[in-house]
Structure 1
Amino acid sequence: MNSRQSLKGAYLLVGAKGLAASIGLISTLVLARLLHPEDYGLVVLVDAVVTLLAAMTELQMASVLTHLPKVTDAHLCTAWTLNALRATALAALVWASAPLLAWFYGKPELESIAWAMSLSVFLGSLQSPRMAMLARELNFKSEFILTLSQKLVGFAVTLVAALYWRNYWALVAGTVATQACALVMSYWCAPFRPRITLVKLKDLWGYSMWLTASMFVKTLNARMDQFTVGKLFSTHTTGVYSLAGRLSSVLFTETLAAALKVISPSLVPLQNQRTALAKAYLNSLALVCCLFLPMATIASALSEPVIAIALGPKWNDVTDVFRVLVMVACLESLGTVGLSVVLATLNTRLAFHRDLLSLCARLLSMSAGYALGGFTGLLWGRAACALVDCLLYFRIAGQVTGLSLSQQTLSTWRTLTACVLTYATVAGGQLSPLAVPPGGAMSSVLGLVAWGVAGLILHGAVQWLIWVFAGRPDGPERAIAHYLRALINRSSSGQSA
C-alpha cells in the first residue's frame, strides 16, 4: 500500500474515532443529566475487575495477526479458536467472582451487575479475526463502519434504558449492546467462517505470550486508581472519578488510539531500517504531540466552565479531577507512540518490562500521594506517574531506534513550551471578571467557545513564533504549513476557474 493510501486510511480511521468520540461525548453528557455519581461508581467497580480479569486472559490475537510476517487461513482459525476458549473461560470466571466482588466492596448490587457483564465479555471476545487483516493492510473502511455502528447502538440502548430505569442498569445494558453490535458487525464487515483448530498455536503463542503479560500488567496499572478509589472512598467519589476519566478518554484517548493504530502498521516495513525507522517515529511523535496536546491543554485550563455548562451543579466535584485526568490521558497516549515502534519491531518483551516498572512507579506515587493528601494527593500522584509512564515509553522506543531520551523529548519541545504559555494565559484569564459573560446559558456557551478558539489561536501563534526563531527546522510545523499553503492554492484556483 502506498503512502497516499496509508494517509487516506489514517484520515478515515481518525475520522471514525472522532465521530465516535463525539457520540460518546454526547452520550456521556446526556447520561450525566439522567444518572447520579453513585450509578457510575457501582458500574466502574465491576468494570475495573472485569477489565483486569480480561487482561489476565487476553491473547492479543489481533495484534499478533497484524504484525506477523505471513498470515494464512490456518492462523486465522487458530486465533478464533483460542479466542473462543478464552471467551468461555473469562465469562465463567467473571460469573464465579461476582459474590466475592460484592463482599469485598460491601455492595450487594455488584453481584447482579457482574453476572450481566459476563455476557458482555463473552460477546466481546468472539469478533471476526479477519478484521486484523484489514488493519494490517491499512484498510480502515470496515473499522469505520464497525466503530460508528457500535457507538450508535450503545448510545441508543443506554439512553432508552436510562429514561426507563434511571439507574446503573442503563450503563450495563449499553455495554452489553455495544459488544453484541461489535460482534455482528465484525462478521458483516470482514466475513469469516471459523474452523476449530490449534495447528498454528506455536506461531501465534511466541509473540502473544509477552504481549499478554504486558497487557495484564498495563491493565492492572491503568485500573489501580479505580480499585483504590473504590475501596478507600464512597461510591459518589468513585463515580466522580470515573466520569472525569470517561470524559478525558472520550475527548482525547480514543481519537489518539486511532492515530496510533495507523502508526504501528505503517512502521512495520521499516523493521530492518533503523535510521529510517527512527526518523519516521520522531515525525509521528512530533505530529501527534502538535495536534493533540494543545487541545488537552485548553480543555484542562477551561475545566471549570466546561463541567459547569456540560454537566450541571450535581457534578461540580468533577472539575478538579477532570483538570488533572485530561492531561494524564494525553501524556500517556503520547507516550504510547513509543509503544507503536516497539510493537512494529516485535520487541514485546521490552513492553512487558516497561509495564512492570510503570506499575511499581504508580504504586509508589499514588501511595505517597494518598498518605500526604488523601484524595487530592492520590490524584496528583496519578499525574506524576503519567509523566513517568511517558518517559518509560520513550526509553523502550530508544532501545529499538537508537534515539536518546533527549532526542525524543526535544522533538516536542516547541509544542510543550507553547502549551505551558497557553495554559497559563487561558487559566489565568478565567480569574478575570471578563471570564464570565453576562446573560444566560447561551452567553456562557458562547463565552466558553470564544475562550477555546482564542486559546487555539494563541497556541498556534506562539508555536509558529518559536518555530521561526528556531530557524524553521523540519517538524510538524513545516508539514502543517505546507498543507495549509496547498489548501489555499487549491481554493484560489477553484475561485479563479
Structure 2
Amino acid sequence: MRWTYLTSAACAAIQLPYAAVMARLLTPEDFGLMALAYLVPRFAHQFAQSGLGSAVIQRPSLTERDVRVIFAMALTLGTCSYAAVWSVAPYATELAHGPSDLTGMIRVLALSMLFGPLGTTSSGLLSRGMRYRAIALIDLFSFVVGYCVIACGSALLGAGVWSLVYGQLGWSLLLSLLPYLMVRHSLRPLFDVPAMRDVMRFGGKVSANGLLEYLTADFAKLAIGRYVGVAAAGLYDRATLLASYPLQQIQQAASKVLLPGLSRIQHETSRLGASYADCTSVTTLVLFPLWAVIGASSEQLVALLLGGQWQGSVQLVPVLGLAGVFGLVAQFSGTVVEAMGVVGPKVVIHLVQLTVLVTGTALALHLGGGLHALMAVLLVGQLVRLSLFQVWLNRLFPTTRRPTAQAYAQAAALSGLVWGALWSVQQALEGSCPGPVILVAKLASAAVLALCCVRYGGALHGVRAARERGLLPAALWRAGRAQ
C-alpha cells in the first residue's frame, strides 16, 4: 500500500503542473477531440485484454504453460482488435460528428493494442508476486516520459492535438515494455484450446464487465461530443480530470494491492469480510472529504491550474467529483468480488446502470437539457451502481452491514464539515485576497482538519481500521492519544 500510494502521490504532484501547462498550450477543442478519439481504442481494449491480466492474478495456481497460453490469447486478441479499430475508425468519426483528423488519431492510438499483450501478462505476474516497488517505479517512469517529456515536448513544438496522441502512445509503450523487462516470461505462444477455454471462463466475465464499465464511463462523453459539441466535451474532459484524478489515484493504488491480496484469502470468508469492511471504511473516509475539498475549491483550482478559458468547467467539478467518488467506491466493491471469482452478477449491475444512463440521457435531450442535465444523469447512474453493489456485498458478508453503514454516515458527516469550513474561509477572504491566497488558506484548513481527524478521530471506523492495518504512522495518532 505504501509503495502504491507513494507513486500515486508522485504522479499527482506531476500531473497537476502537466495539466496546467497543457491547458495553456492547447484549446478545449483539442482536448475534446482527443477525448472522442480515445473512445474507440478504449472500447476495443476491453476485447484485447479480455480479463487476462486479472486471470493471471486471480488463478489459485499458475504454471509456465498457463503463462504461454495467456500470452498467446493476448497476442491474438490484441492483433484482431487493432485490425477492427482500423476498419471502423471512419465510421466512428461519422458517429461522433468529428473532423476528418479524428480517423487518423483513432488509428494511431490503437497501436497500443499491438504491444499491449507484452504488458498484460508481465504486469499480471508482477502483481501476483506482490512486487509493488517495481510496479511503482514503472508507473512513475512511464508517466513522466510519456506525458511530461513526449506530450509536453510535442506541444511546445507545435504538434497541437497530436501531442496528446504521442504522449498517450509513449506512455502505453513503456507500460508494456518495462514490466516484461522485469519478468522476462516466455514469448513462445501456446495455442492450447482447452486451456484457453478454461482461462476464458473467468477472463471472459471480467472482460464483459470491463466492456460495460467502459460504456457507462464514456457514454456521457460520447453524448456530449455528439449533441453538445467538441468544445463542451473538452470542458467535460478537463473537469473530470480535475475532479477525479486525485480520487482515482487513491483508489487505483488500493485496487492494485487488494486484488492479488484478497485473491490469496478468497476462500476465507471471515477474513475477506473483515478486510472488506475495513477497506470500505478507509476508502470512504478518504474519498468523500477529499471530494469536498476539490468541490469547495473548484473556482480557484480551475483558475490556477487550467486558466481563464476553462471557466465553464467550474460548475461541473463538484458534480463530476461526487459521481467519481460513487464510481470509485463501487469499483472497490467490484475488486472484492473479482478476487472471489464471483463476477457474473456484476454484469447485471452494469447493465442496470447503462439502462439508467441511456434512458436518462434520452429524457434530458428530449426535454432540452444541456450539459448540466447530462451531468445529473451521470450522477444518478453512479449512485444506482453503488447502491446495487452495496446490497450485494451485504448479502455476501452479513456481518459487515453495520460497520459499512456507519462508515458511509461518518464519511458524509466529515465531508459536510470540511465543505462548511472551506466555504467559511472563502466567505471571509473573498474580495480582499487573490484566488491563489484563498486556495492556500482552504488547503491549509483542510490539512488541519485531516490532522485532527487522524489524531483524535479514534471513534471513526476508517481511522481505527487505518491504525490497526498499519496504514498510518504511529507517531501521528499516539501523540494525540497521549495528549
Q: Is the 8 A contact 1:294 1:456 kept in 2?
A: no
The one-letter code sitting in structure 2 at the alignment partner of 1:376 is H
Q: Indicate the SS of the match to 2:62.
A: coil
Per the alignment, residue 4 of structure 1 pairs with none
* Deviations 1:96-137, CA, capped at 9 Å, x for gaps: 112112222142111111121121332334316133122123
Larger mean Cα displacement after TM superposition, 360-369 or 294-303: 360-369
The one-letter code sitting in structure 2 at the alignment partner of 1:264 is L
Q: Indicate the SS of the match to 1:420.
A: helix
Q: Is the 8 A contact 1:128 1:191 kept in 2?
A: no
Percent sequence identity over aligned pairs: 20
After superposition, the Cα gap between the structure-2 partners of 1:339 and 1:13, relative to the gap in structure 1 and judged at 3 Å, is: same
The one-letter code sitting in structure 1 at the alignment partner of 2:100 is P
The RMSD of aligned alpha carbons is 2.5
- Aligned residue runs from structure 1 range 281-320, under 5 A: 281-320=276-315
Whether 2:133 is the aligned partner of 1:145: answer no
Q: Indicate the SS of the match to 1:412.
A: helix
Q: Indicate the SS of the match to 1:487.
A: helix
The one-letter code sitting in structure 2 at the alignment partner of 1:418 is L
2:38 counterpart (37, 47, 65): 47
After superposition, the Cα gap between the structure-2 partners of 1:194 and 1:458, relative to the gap in structure 1 and judged at 3 Å, is: same
Whether 2:183 is the aligned partner of 1:197: answer no
Q: Is the 8 A contact 2:47 2:81 kept in 1?
A: no
After superposition, the Cα gap between the structure-2 partners of 1:428 and 1:363, relative to the gap in structure 1 and judged at 3 Å, is: farther
**Structure-2 separation of matches of 1:480 and 1:404:** 17
Q: Indicate the SS of the match to 2:38.
A: helix
**Structure-2 separation of matches of 1:257 and 1:124:** 19
Q: C-alpha displacement at 1:298, in angstroms?
A: 0.7
* Deviations 1:122-174, CA, capped at 9 Å, x for gaps: 23343161331221232212111210111011121000110112511110111
**Structure-2 separation of matches of 1:416 and 1:66:** 34
**Structure-1 separation of matches of 2:130 and 2:432:** 47
1:476 counterpart (450, 453, 462): 462
Q: Is the 8 A contact 2:281 2:462 kept in 1?
A: yes
The one-letter code sitting in structure 2 at the alignment partner of 1:190 is V
Whether 2:420 is the aligned partner of 1:427: answer no
Q: C-alpha displacement at 1:277, in angstroms?
A: 1.8
**Structure-2 separation of matches of 1:23 and 1:191:** 30
Larger mean Cα displacement after TM superposition, 387-396 or 232-241: 387-396
Q: Is the 8 A contact 1:418 1:462 kept in 2?
A: no
Per the alignment, residue 38 of structure 1 pairs with 29
Whether 2:480 is the aligned partner of 1:487: answer no
* Residue segments in structure 2 that go unaligned for 5+ positions in a row: none
- Aligned residue runs from structure 1 range 165-180, under 5 A: 165-180=158-173
Q: C-alpha displacement at 1:24, in angstroms?
A: 2.2
**Structure-2 separation of matches of 1:365 and 1:456:** 38
Q: C-alpha displacement at 1:371, in angstroms?
A: 4.1
Please give the TM-score of this superposition, normalised by the length of structure 1.
0.88
After superposition, the Cα gap between the structure-2 partners of 1:269 and 1:111, relative to the gap in structure 1 and judged at 3 Å, is: closer
Q: Is the 8 A contact 1:358 1:392 kept in 2?
A: no
Q: Is the 8 A contact 1:395 1:405 kept in 2?
A: no
Q: C-alpha displacement at 1:72, in angstroms?
A: 0.5
What is the total number of aligned residue pairs between the two structures? 473
1:118 counterpart (96, 102, 110): 110
* Deviations 1:426-484, CA, capped at 9 Å, x for gaps: 23543x2523543xxxx53233121122134346657988x67xxx37x2223456777
Q: Is the 8 A contact 1:87 1:122 kept in 2?
A: yes
* Deviations 1:265-297, CA, capped at 9 Å, x for gaps: 222233223232212110010011122321121
Q: C-alpha displacement at 1:74, in angstroms?
A: 0.8
Q: C-alpha displacement at 1:202, in angstroms?
A: 2.9
Per the alignment, residue 174 of structure 2 pairs with 181
Whether 2:251 is the aligned partner of 1:256: answer yes
**Structure-2 separation of matches of 1:457 and 1:38:** 39
Per the alignment, residue 5 of structure 1 pairs with none
1:21 counterpart (12, 18, 22): 12
The one-letter code sitting in structure 1 at the alignment partner of 2:119 is Q
- Aligned residue runs from structure 1 range 74-153, under 5 A: 74-104=65-95, 105-127=97-119, 129-153=121-145
Q: C-alpha displacement at 1:390, in angstroms?
A: 1.5
**Structure-2 separation of matches of 1:419 and 1:273:** 34
The one-letter code sitting in structure 1 at the alignment partner of 2:445 is A
Q: C-alpha displacement at 1:421, in angstroms?
A: 2.8
Q: Is the 8 A contact 1:76 1:130 kept in 2?
A: no
Please give the TM-score of this superposition, normalised by the length of structure 2.
0.91
The one-letter code sitting in structure 2 at the alignment partner of 1:146 is I
The one-letter code sitting in structure 1 at the alignment partner of 2:40 is V
The one-letter code sitting in structure 2 at the alignment partner of 1:95 is W
Q: Is the 8 A contact 1:369 1:379 kept in 2?
A: no
The one-letter code sitting in structure 2 at the alignment partner of 1:270 is I
Whether 2:441 is the aligned partner of 1:450: answer yes
Per the alignment, residue 7 of structure 1 pairs with none
Per the alignment, residue 367 of structure 1 pairs with 362
* Deviations 1:371-392, CA, capped at 9 Å, x for gaps: 4432111111211222222112
**Structure-2 separation of matches of 1:367 and 1:489:** 51
**Structure-2 separation of matches of 1:488 and 1:66:** 34
Per the alignment, residue 495 of structure 1 pairs with none
Q: Is the 8 A contact 1:38 1:239 kept in 2?
A: yes
* Deviations 1:163-213, CA, capped at 9 Å, x for gaps: 112511110111111112222212222222311113321331111121111
**Structure-2 separation of matches of 1:222 and 1:405:** 28
Q: Indicate the SS of the match to 2:257.
A: helix
Per the alignment, residue 380 of structure 1 pairs with 376
* Deviations 1:57-99, CA, capped at 9 Å, x for gaps: 4311110111111000111111111111111111111111121
Q: C-alpha displacement at 1:342, in angstroms?
A: 0.3
After superposition, the Cα gap between the structure-2 partners of 1:464 and 1:418, relative to the gap in structure 1 and judged at 3 Å, is: farther
After superposition, the Cα gap between the structure-2 partners of 1:354 and 1:403, relative to the gap in structure 1 and judged at 3 Å, is: farther
Q: Indicate the SS of the match to 1:198.
A: coil
- Aligned residue runs from structure 1 range 342-357, under 5 A: 342-357=337-352
After superposition, the Cα gap between the structure-2 partners of 1:460 and 1:382, relative to the gap in structure 1 and judged at 3 Å, is: farther
* Residue segments in structure 1 that go unaligned for 5+ positions in a row: 1-9, 493-497
Larger mean Cα displacement after TM superposition, 90-99 or 421-430: 421-430
Per the alignment, residue 389 of structure 1 pairs with 385
Q: C-alpha displacement at 1:34, in angstroms?
A: 0.3
